[in-house]
Chains A and B, each alone.
Chain A
Amino acid sequence: MVICALIRESKKGNPCLQKKLFLLDLGYYFRHLRINNRSVDILEQEQILLKGLALSDKNSIELIYRDNFSSIQSFVLNNNGSVDDARDIFQEAMIVLYENAGKDSFKLNCQIKTYIYSVCRRLWLKRLQHLGKFNTKLENIEDIIPVESEVEDHEKRNEDFNLMEDAMSKIGEPCKSLLNAYYLQKKNMQELALEFGYTNADNAKTQKYKCLLRLKKIFFAQYKNS
């Protein structure tokens, strides 16, 4: 996903566009999968799910929820938590999986079920420990599969995410929408000028950079504090 950002108008065709096409195919594939559930082998299914997940595809997300949520809920409920806690933890585990599914280097050596369970277990025990409800040292917990480093990476990224969210909320409008439209929705300058009422693309561009400078300033100021 990250690659798309930096080469949004690159010469060799836009990889984001190619992915979109792929996503449409995936939709078809899933209908097919559901009907003939037994005909596609489970590993292949899981690879497809992971690819879908990496593209924020709702069908994939839904299938993973359906397959896994209830066991995570039981785990959390049996360990001092509520349904809301279970939802939180599950969402976070989904984000961990999402972050990794997008990496080329990521290879899942177990079933998604096992992976999610391991991540949720670690996340939940960590939270319990934080609340002082669980006294075993985390180093002594053995994961079903090792996910410790992935959870830690995720926590770092999560901090960055929160910093960015915070900075975004502080720059105000129209900056927020402007940056969002350009950097995240990938609209071009003509579209932006039209949408935000700038007289021409150049004006929109100057505004965009002004906003970006402000965002960076706030982001890095907090970054140094944290």
Chain B
Amino acid sequence: MDDILLLEEVERYLRGEMTKEERTLFETRRKNEAELDQLVVEHTYFLLGLQTYGSIKTFKHSLTEVESKLISEGLIGLSPFNGKAKIVYLWKKYKRNIAVAASIAAFISILASGLMVTVSRKFGNENYRVLVDQINKTNREVNKLKSNRAIEKSAITKPEVDFRATGFLIDRKGYLITNAHVISRMKNIYIENRKGEFFKAEALYSDKEVDLAILKITDTAFKPVSSLPYSIKKENSELGEQFFTLGFPRNEIVYGEGYLSAESGSDGDSSAYQLNVSANPGNSGGPVINGNGEIIGIITAKDSKADGVVYAAKSKNIITLLERLKKSDNQFQVLKTPNKTELKKLDRVHQVKKMEEYVFMVVGN
């Protein structure tokens, strides 16, 4: 407590808030007490440091904002003066990762939609619920009104959507992975980014057995990203491994974290994990990412009766599926699955920040 009172006095002194008498008294004390004098000097230095810290932090923030604006304009990363051919050459030459080409989008808040859960049965477990969000009509209309006003420059006008789930990039050129059940009832598939822009996408492949589907953004308005900062884990993950998830149980990206609670899924399904994490309709197709920035799974379903029992397809399935497809089908040979993670040393906030650029809403009607 004495420390606090003393500190308060020092701050009042430094800020010039003392009365004349107080000030004279304080200065006399300062002359006589070496400790107090030292505290004043030390605190002045410290406050200065704190202040500089604050102002540089603000400045860095502005820098980053300007940078992402310029990246999205193509001024950074793709220099307009050097011409395209040269840039390609430089990319080949240096083979480094070029900056994320997505800008931070202004967030458009849309009403949380009414949740109606699509129920499907898998492996005879009647509590098994896939996590696609079905959007009811009233909300859809409200959304439409709101978004018409908010999004003027969308790639295509906002389509009417009945379902919403999550998907993420597995190749920088606009290939996404999601669950097979997500798209099974969609006639038209769209990908929505965080700016509220929609891109037409089509399903290249869908496998109900492992519940995985590969989508390609066919829209020409979509610009390939420069590289993906995460990798897909080939090995199985261990019991107790911590992870985080990103998904769209709302019209806004939602973060969740949890741990791997069993090495098999519903009814002993060895192609899935059981996770302890909160997940809701809309989370289907979302990535499960461990601390190293490796995708270890993809959220598929949850137990409707038990709390926090969520199932995820193992990442190994993605790898096997892609390898199989590459052998059998030419169109998949261009796919380069990400195998390098840049998230390893980052703290969680920054991991999420980097990651969320590549996680999209998969919507459709």
A74 partner residues in chain B, CB cutoff 8 A? 79, 82
A61 partner residues in chain B, CB cutoff 8 A? 62-63, 66
A37 is an interface residue with CB less than 8 A from chain B: no
A21 is an interface residue with CB less than 8 A from chain B: no
A75 CB to nearest chain B CB (Å): 12
B305 partner residues in chain A, CB cutoff 8 A? none
* 19 CB-based A-B contacts, threshold 8 Å: A2-B51, A5-B51, A6-B44, A6-B48, A56-B59, A56-B61, A58-B66, A61-B62, A69-B75, A70-B80, A77-B94, A83-B77, A83-B99, A84-B99, A94-B63, A164-B49, A165-B53, A180-B54, A213-B7
Cβ proximity bits B286-314 to A, threshold 8 Å, 1 near / 0 not: 00000000000000000000000000000
A9 is an interface residue with CB less than 8 A from chain B: yes
Q: Beyond the given A6-B14, A56-B61, please list 7 additional residue pairs across the A-B interface where CB-CB is below 8 A.
A: A9-B15, A62-B70, A91-B60, A95-B63, A165-B57, A183-B50, A213-B3
Docked CA distance A102–B42 (Å)? 23
Given contacts A5-B47, A10-B15, contact A65 B66 (CB under 8 A): yes
B47 touches A65 (CB 8 A): no
A197 CB to nearest chain B CB (Å): 20
Docked CA distance A164–B15 (Å)? 22
Given contacts A70-B79, A73-B79, A209-B4, contact A65 B70 (CB under 8 A): yes
B70 touches A160 (CB 8 A): no
B221 is an interface residue with CB less than 8 A from chain A: no
A15 CB to nearest chain B CB (Å): 13
B226 CB to nearest chain A CB (Å): 9
Q: Which of B44, B47, B49, B65 contacts A160 (CB 8 A)?
A: B49
The 6 A-B pairs with the shortest beta carbon distances in the complex, nearest first, are A82-B96, A184-B54, A5-B51, A164-B53, A209-B4, A1-B55
Docked CA distance A61–B46 (Å)? 28
Contacts between the two chains (Cβ within 8 Å), count: 139
Closest-by-CB residue of B relative to A85 is B96
Interface residue tally on B, bucketed by range: 35 or more
B76 is an interface residue with CB less than 8 A from chain A: yes
A213 partner residues in chain B, CB cutoff 8 A? 3-4, 7
B124 partner residues in chain A, CB cutoff 8 A? none
Docked CA distance A58–B70 (Å)? 12
Docked CA distance A81–B90 (Å)? 10
A34 is an interface residue with CB less than 8 A from chain B: no
A212 is an interface residue with CB less than 8 A from chain B: yes
Q: Which of A2, A10, A65, A206 contacts B52 (CB 8 A)?
A: A2
A30 is an interface residue with CB less than 8 A from chain B: no
Q: Which of A10, A70, A168 contacts B81 (CB 8 A)?
A: A70
Docked CA distance A77–B75 (Å)? 15
Q: Which of B17, B50, B69 contacts A62 (CB 8 A)?
A: B69
A210 is an interface residue with CB less than 8 A from chain B: yes
B76 touches A56 (CB 8 A): no
B70 touches A66 (CB 8 A): yes
Docked CA distance A159–B220 (Å)? 46
A206 touches B4 (CB 8 A): yes
A185 CB to nearest chain B CB (Å): 8
Cβ proximity bits A177-188 to B, threshold 8 Å, 1 near / 0 not: 001100110000
B66 partner residues in chain A, CB cutoff 8 A? 58, 61-62, 65
A70 touches B46 (CB 8 A): no
B98 is an interface residue with CB less than 8 A from chain A: yes
Q: Which of B17, B54, B80, B98 contacts A84 (CB 8 A)?
A: B98
A196 is an interface residue with CB less than 8 A from chain B: no
Closest-by-CB residue of A relative to B98 is A83
